[in-house]
Amino acid sequence: MSTQFRAASVSGVHKTFGRVQALSDINWGTASGEWWGIVGPNGSGKSTLIRLLSGVDKPDAGIVHIQGRDAAAYRRKELSRIVAVLQQEGVPPVGYTVRDVVEMGRYPHLDWAGKDADADIVERVLDQLGLAPLAERKLDELSGGQRQRVALAKVMAQDPQILLLDEPTTYLDLHYQLQFMEMLAEWRAKAGITIIAVLHDLNLAAQFCDSLLVLKNGRIEGAGTAAEMLTEDNIRRWFGVDSHVMPHPDSAVPQLMLKRRE
């Protein structure tokens, strides 16, 4: 396999659920340290691709490679030391404390005796995300934004090389959406992790992702920079809406304003 795709790649991947063709002939890959946004209309196969990359599901045909190795060849715990997954709901409001949940992220790294070679990482992550004052609070006492920060702390403690996110900002207000994406960007800058994120907010995707993979009806419609992908013609073709696309005044990345139908 080409070293260009040394972090994760899919080759000739197909996936069906009953009579539904979720993904068809998907060929794509990312180099280490890149941030890809997966975008497209509902039902296009975005979450299915994330599940295949995580090893939770297996393709009906084709191969998923993680760091040059067939994902199916990894043991579950071994793969969890490389790949972490954060779903849109983060962690549910259960009765565990913040510290309990963050410590769960260390499970893939425990040895046969249950010892952790980097036990201090939990405290470092709690401090880094400003969660130390909440460490003994239970999750059902926290706001949605705070719980999503705890979910991020859990995957940071897992210390992965590849982070998969499935609509991580869906339930967050504008403040927490931006805060969450900025924390991801800071983590990536420090640790050099690879991020692959399903995102519905195209403006956020344009501001934070290096590249966008566009899916529609289970097929790849395009892959490239936000400037290449987010044009008015493409938005109309993929989402069936008219828009104005303008450069952001600070970064010049494309930003969308939707047109109302007359």
Same-domain status, 196 and 229: yes
* pLDDT band per the 50, 70, 90 thresholds, residue 93: low
Do both 67 and 140 map to the same domain?
Answer: no
Is residue 64 domain-shared with residue 108, that is, in the same domain?
no
Do 249 and 209 lie in one domain? The reply is yes
Reply yes or no on whether the pLDDT at 2 is more than 50.
no
Same domain, 110 and 132: yes
Same domain, 169 and 75: yes
**Domain end marker among 101, 125, 159:** 159
Axis crossing angle, helix 174-191 with helix 144-158, rounded to the nearest 10: 10
Residue 116 has pLDDT above 80, yes or no: no
Place of tokens 């299915």: 48
CATH number, domain of 212, equals 3.40.50.300
Produce one character per residue of 159-187: b if its CB has 16 or more CB atoms within 10 Å, e if not. Answer: bbbbbbbbbbbbebeeebbebbbebbeeb
**Residue-averaged pLDDT of the chain:** 91
Co-location of 194 and 224 in the same domain: yes
Does 175 lie in the same domain as 220? yes
Domain edge (last residue) among 159, 175, 200: 159
The whole-model pTM stands at 0.93
What is the structure's pLDDT at 156?
Answer: 92
Q: How many CA atoms lie within 13 A of 213 on its CB side?
A: 26
Residue ranges making up the domain that contains 147:
91-159
Once rounded to an integer, what is the mean pLDDT over residues 86-112? Answer: 82
- b/e map of 115-152 (b: 16 or more CB within 10 Å)? eeeeeebbeebbeebebeebbeeebeebeebbbbbbbb
Consecutive H or E run containing 234: helix 232-239
Together in a domain, 224 and 186: yes
Q: For residue 179, which phi and psi values (nearest 5 degrees)?
A: -60, -45
- Same domain assignment for residues 69 and 166: yes
Query: How many domains, the chain?
Result: 2
Q: Which of 32-41, 112-121, 124-133, 136-145 has the highest mean pLDDT?
A: 32-41
pLDDT tens-digit series, residues 159-175 = 999 999 999 887 788 98
- Torsion (CA) 198, 202, 205, 211 in degrees, nearest 10: 90
Q: Say yes or no: 165 and 124 in one domain.
A: no
CA distance 221 to 70: 25
Tokens representing 76? 């579950």
Span 53-67, pLDDT tens digits: 999 999 999 999 999
Among the candidates 159, 182, 208, a domain finishes at 159
pLDDT of residue 3: 45
